[in-house]
Amino acid sequence: MTGSNTDPHQKTSKRLQALRALAVAAFLLSSPFASTEAQTHPPTAEELMDLTIDELLDVNIDKVYGASKYAQPTTQAPASITIVTSTQIQRFGYRTLAEILRSVRGFYTRDDRNYSYAGLRGFLRPEDGNSRILFLINGHRINDNIFDAGAVGTDFLIDVDLIERVEVVRGPSSALYGNSAFFAVVNVVTKEASDFNQGEVSGEVGSFDTYKVRFSLAGTLHENASLLVSGTYFDRDGENRLYYPEFDSPDTNFGIARNLNWDRFYNIFSQYHYQSFTLDVGLNVREKGIPTAPFETAFNHPDNSTEDLSAFINARHIHQFSEDLELTSRLSYGQFNFDGEYIYEGELPTDPDFIPNFDQARGMWAIGETILRQRFMERHQAIAGFEYRYDLQRDQRNFDRSPAFEYLDSSQSGNVWSPFATMEFNIRTNLTVNAGVRHDQYETFGGTTNPRAALIYQPRTKTTLKYVYGEAFRAPNAFELYYGDSGSTAKPNPALNPEEIRTHELIWEERIGTRFESSVSIFQYDIDNLISQDLDPIDDLLTYNNIDSIRAQGFEFEFSGRQASGLQGKVSYAYQHGENLSNDGRLFNAPSHLVKFNLAVPLWKESIFLGWETLYTSSRMAITRDRAKAFWLNNLTLFGHEIRPGVELSASVYNLFDERYFESAGPEHTQSLIEQEGRTFRVKLSYHF
């Protein structure tokens, strides 16, 4: 028989080739590249055929939405990308978005015992909020319309347990998103109803009488329709004794603030999904005590506090005309309320001992957006979009209640309309040019046009080289434009112009085998018209002006790996150096060196993990020219998944070695440096049903 003359090795080889071809076909059909969500070029069939069966089964390239407003592999995105997954959030015990971002290369945070702030690439001035990073939830802008800031602490809109992943897109992205996409875009993607069984209940306790409970329900309403509803309540007493030497006198309780670092919030998130329509609704209300006596308020007074309310409704619909033509429509509403109660000591003999001052902000806005995405000639695609934003309300008020006195009562509205377009040309299968531009037309200062261009080259399947050039702007916000106090110490400046940034970046990304990755980024950026508070020599009143210019350079390195057993780790280093060209000075609160290391080790059957995180921040200069010393933070989390059916248990220790460290204070504080928390713990139990 003919079969008897066949070489058995040849038979085996043919079987392997057939099996490999089957695996390649399965990969191409099931992978994200086959979806219209990501019309990019994956590794070719020939390249995949060169991989072993094990390598084929392990191929995994993350996708990102925030870089281009459609899902694409990170290797094809015109930016340096980091993705933090829900698994990493669990295994490293992250409690807030600020802690998630602090773990990302190049990022660092600041906490003034009231709010948390995030910066990157050497820029996080003590006087600034989170207005130079654009924050999104499922692609929806959540920066408010008073300060243009995004919340990253306990005032963030949703519970971190509802986060499926956090996409960090470095570099200017005003060519797509407009205002605030200055240094980066952070897109928080939420879990869906399908990520839960029918429901989940979670509770946790921690240091300083911290308690938190969450209850989530999910289910299918009818065919192709699902609903997720989740609510969280959090309460924390905080330290009962905080010492500030700047207030160490008998009149100010010897510098001891008692029971003033309390924090509580509740939030609600709901998502309804039907076929290609999705509706997200979110609400967060947070109250926080202030122990630091900012703005020269009465030290150790129990009524010094702030309250924030953030809410949004976001409806989006995707219509697929054909395999190559897609229309995305979005309509959203946002609301932001701020109430600050500040207690001042009476100065005149006729004044009461304490005078309560109230600072209020009320913001409401609506956004409509349409995006048309067309793929043509099989290998190219174009995006054309239009966004219109109407600020229904931008009100600010400041007043004393008793005796009554009005310092500020400002009411503003406005609109901005923004066309944008992006083209992606795949010149060769391994060479892509991505270019886009957007124009934003404001009622206040006029128009601004911002481009972004990227050249992406893959000399081989596992190597990606990128050059990215981008320009972006930050519009003067309502606080900078209109806030004043009846001309006594500060005045508004409606003539402010937007800040501008230009960034060059070189990126090298390398996949080593199927389990290791490395990346190197080299960047330089120039900022003009930076908005800073200044003293007007004509009337000696504080006001905001476009007065500073910044130049900064640096590089970032990262190496990460994972094993089939669940062992995974990452180490990164960032060097950043910036100068204020207006006064030949170093930037305030700008560490030159950041080192980050995390390791998740499976202890038992891929169900119990030990997560270790180490963070190093070099010294920084405060606005008083004092220096915050360098510090190391170590956090440890023991996480158990499915230790019993439906049960998850974790225990975390933060600042494990009780490092004493300080953050730079803003100009509203008497302190130049604010001491941070020592060692704390959290125990968390969740049950899926």
Whether 21 has a pLDDT exceeding 80, the answer reads no
Query: Do residues 129 and 48 both lie within one domain?
Result: no
Domain tally, the chain: 2
CB neighbours of 28 closer than 8 A, spacing ≥ 6? 34, 42, 45, 48
Average pLDDT estimate for 622-634: 95
Query: Do residues 53 and 66 both lie within one domain?
Result: no
Q: How many CA atoms lie within 13 A of 555 on its CB side?
A: 8
Q: Which range among 3-7, 57-61, 239-243, 454-458 shows the weakest confidence by mean pLDDT?
A: 3-7
Q: Cα–Cα distance between 345 and 198 in angstroms, integer? A: 54
Query: Do residues 605 and 590 both lie within one domain?
Result: yes
Average pLDDT estimate for 79-89: 97
Whether 207 has a pLDDT exceeding 90, the answer reads yes
Query: Do residues 78 and 53 both lie within one domain?
Result: no
Average pLDDT estimate for 476-493: 90
How confident is the model over 269-292, as pLDDT tens digits? 999 999 999 999 999 999 999 999
The DSSP H or E segment spanning 468 is strand 463-474
pLDDT at res. 35 = 36
Sorting pLDDT into bands at 50, 70 and 90, what band is 30? Answer: very low
Query: Do residues 22 and 77 both lie within one domain?
Result: no
Sorting pLDDT into bands at 50, 70 and 90, what band is 4? Answer: very low
Query: Do residues 54 and 73 both lie within one domain?
Result: no
How confident is the model over 431-441, as pLDDT tens digits? 999 999 999 99
Q: Which range among 49-63, 86-100, 224-238, 318-332 shows the weakest confidence by mean pLDDT?
A: 49-63
More confident residue, 51 or 448: 448
Q: Tell me if the bond preceding 349 is cis, omega within 30° of 0.
A: no
pLDDT at res. 27 = 41
Whether 45 has a pLDDT exceeding 50, the answer reads no
**Cβ contact 172:181 at 8 Å:** yes
Distances (CA, A) of 62 to 73, 106, 514, 517: 6, 20, 13, 12
Whether 50 has a pLDDT exceeding 80, the answer reads no
Whether 58 has a pLDDT exceeding 50, the answer reads no
Last residue of one domain, picked from the residues 22, 44, 60: 60
Percent of the chain at pLDDT above 90?
80
Whether 5 has a pLDDT exceeding 80, the answer reads no
Tell me the two tokens of residue 589: 């609160």
Tell me the two tokens of residue 370: 């349409």
Whether 33 has a pLDDT exceeding 60, the answer reads no
Query: Do residues 224 and 234 both lie within one domain?
Result: yes
Tell me the two tokens of residue 314: 């976001």
Query: Do residues 525 and 536 both lie within one domain?
Result: yes
Average pLDDT estimate for 230-250: 97
Average pLDDT estimate for 176-181: 97
**Cβ contact 210:96 at 8 Å:** no
How many other C-beta atoms can be found within 10 angstroms of the C-beta atom of residue 303? 14
Average pLDDT estimate for 89-95: 97
Query: Do residues 104 and 16 both lie within one domain?
Result: no
Percent of the chain at pLDDT above 70?
91
pLDDT at res. 564 = 85
Last residue of one domain, picked from the residues 60, 81, 110: 60
Query: Do residues 141 and 250 both lie within one domain?
Result: yes
More confident residue, 49 or 460: 460
Instruction: Residue 255: give its domain's CATH number.
Output: 2.40.170.20
pLDDT at res. 536 = 85
Indicate the pairing of strand 568-580 with strand 325-345. Answer: unpaired
Query: Do residues 253 and 280 both lie within one domain?
Result: yes
More confident residue, 44 or 109: 109
Average pLDDT estimate for 354-377: 96
Whether 28 has a pLDDT exceeding 50, the answer reads no
Average pLDDT estimate for 409-434: 96
Last residue of one domain, picked from the residues 39, 60, 81: 60
Domain range for residue 22? 1-60
Q: Cα–Cα distance between 522 and 577 in angstroms, integer? A: 12
Query: Do residues 31 and 91 both lie within one domain?
Result: no
